[in-house]
Structure 1
Amino acid sequence: MKPIIVVTSTFDNGHTFLHKDYSNAIIEAGGIPFVMPYMASQDMLDQICEMADGLMLSGGEDIDPFLYGEEPAPGLGAITPERDVLESRLTERFLKSDKPILAICRGLQLLNAVAGGTLIQDIERAQAVCLQHRQQAPRAHLSHQIHIESGSLLERIIGSAHIRVNSFHHQAVKRTAPDFRVNATAADGIIEGLESMIHRFVLGVQWHPENLAGTNEAANDIFRAFVHACISK
């Protein structure tokens, strides 16, 4: 049986949508993606969380700073409050049940906020020296290098201390959530990955491996490891 994986989506003007790269990456790795529409029903959420084998938090717009106890600062972009609420509830349930989570870009930031961490609301306003984290290049282009921490889950998956990644974000992790560790950083110190120290498989990456899957072995390894963890739950 292939694992069923809930994949969060973007809400905009009454529409729910998800780039096909997310679902394709899950399918190619051996999973069945279930694209999550907006719903407020607690009973429905409970049933979906019971049914699903894993959760993938996808990318998107900014997160309401209220979630991590801050006021909105200059540089904060568009937010979608209903998406924040839905994904927070999903994340809390999957963490509590110790089911695998893969969090990508915005998903990493949401995961960190829900687990008790904070975010940099706008990197360029927060530090004088930084890399270009919103690349002006095709999505599959490898923009900058990251360092992966020795002994981390991410290192075990990828098998390398350094890789190049794509980059499409202006927010980032500031304070890491309790029971989480940093597993990757960029040359300017920006956190590029997190993982739980108390769950079987909870991994967040700041880049977009779904845009690289199929042609980039590190991206393929991430999705294969995630789907395998969902099978082995």
Structure 2
Amino acid sequence: MFIGITGNKKLSIIGEDERQISYTSNDIVHIIQNRDASPIIIPIGSPTNAREYINRVDGLLVTGGQDVSAHLYGEKEVQMDSDSCYQRDLFEIALIREAYRQNKPILAICRGMQIVNVAFGGTLYQELDAPDATVIHRQKFDLTQVSHSVTINPTSELFQILNQTSQLQVNSYHHQAVKDLATPFKASAWASDGTIEAFEAIESRINIIGIQWHPEFLLQTEPLMNNIFTDFIANVQKYKLYLEESEVI
């Protein structure tokens, strides 16, 4: 069972030269490996190659990173020096739409949740940070610690995944967030200031969950976070078995 993980790129010093490298967090890689699945890191590439990548994996995990370009949802950038990567945006939108077309499960984290929303026609708040904010969404301390609470929708799939937990303490490291939620989704968690902290597909046949916080860093301090990944892998396995049985029939 193969899980595609969206990669990022950055400059790194190799010898005496500065080179671009492709990477993803080892925390995510180890989480997938520890659940008897094989992670496949998908480097940023051309949208035309999205179908080929998705054909080769059984599920897609969309990771965090840069801002999503506001041009993709019809707005001008609030900050001219916005940290975004248009190439990554377009490539990941293509991956997400192809995974949706093939009905392969998607788990989206932080920026991943935001780009999934944009991929289906939603919009984002470009800047949440404010001096009088009641919730600090970009914490200044270690992400293995929690910074605020979220309320879980009791009718949501996430509520069931988290053992019917209605309040959860989470970490937070973002300054953008879902504004207009795309049509295929419903909110499944909120911060106390109303910020959407999680969403999921409305139709049960579509397996897409978006999480605004970083559960991958809280597995030790908040054990319920393990359920998010365990459920994702279980759904991927279920879908894979369904395909195999369909081929036999």
Both structures adopt the same fold (TM-score exceeding 0.5): yes
Question: What residue in structure 2 maps to residue 24 of structure 1?
Answer: 30
Deviations 1:179-204 (A, max 9, x none): 20000000111110011112431000
**1:153-168 to 2 correspondences below 5 Å:** 153-159=157-163, 160-168=165-173
- TM-score normalized by structure 2? 0.87
| Residue 207 (structure 1) aligned with residue 213 (structure 2) | yes
Paired positions, count:
229
Deviations 1:49-99 (A, max 9, x none): 112110000000101011111111138730011111110100010111111
RMSD value over aligned CA atoms? 1.7
| Residue 141 (structure 1) aligned with residue 141 (structure 2) | no
Distance 1:75 1:48 in 2: 33
Deviations 1:153-206 (A, max 9, x none): 110100201110010000000000002000000011111001111243100000
Q: Which moved more, 1:26-35 or 1:52-61?
A: 26-35
CA contact (8 A) 2:144 2:221 kept: no
| Residue 107 (structure 1) aligned with residue 105 (structure 2) | no
| Residue 87 (structure 1) aligned with residue 85 (structure 2) | no
Distance 2:81 2:206 in 1: 33
**1:6-21 to 2 correspondences below 5 Å:** 6-13=4-11, 14-21=20-27
Aligned partner (choices 218, 227, 232) of residue 221 of structure 1: 227
Q: CA deviation at 1:41?
A: 6.6
Q: CA deviation at 1:24?
A: 1.1
Runs of 4+ in 1 over 4 A off after TM superposition: none
Distance 2:202 2:154 in 1: 14
Q: 1:41 to 1:90 in 2, by over 3 A?
A: closer
Aligned partner (choices 121, 127, 152) of residue 122 of structure 1: 127
In structure 1, the gaps of 5 or more residues are none
CA contact (8 A) 2:47 2:90 kept: no
Question: What residue in structure 2 maps to residue 232 of structure 1?
Answer: 238
CA contact (8 A) 1:124 1:130 kept: no
In structure 2, the gaps of 5 or more residues are 12-19, 240-249
Distance 1:38 1:124 in 2: 29
Task: Provide the identity percentage.
Answer: 33
Relative contact order: is structure 1 or structure 2 higher (C-alpha 8 Å, sep ≥ 6)?
1
- TM-score normalized by structure 1? 0.93
Q: CA deviation at 1:142?
A: 1.2
Q: 1:108 to 1:12 in 2, by over 3 A?
A: same
Q: CA deviation at 1:30?
A: 2.7
Distance 1:98 1:142 in 2: 33
Aligned residue identity for 1:179? P
Distance 1:116 1:68 in 2: 7
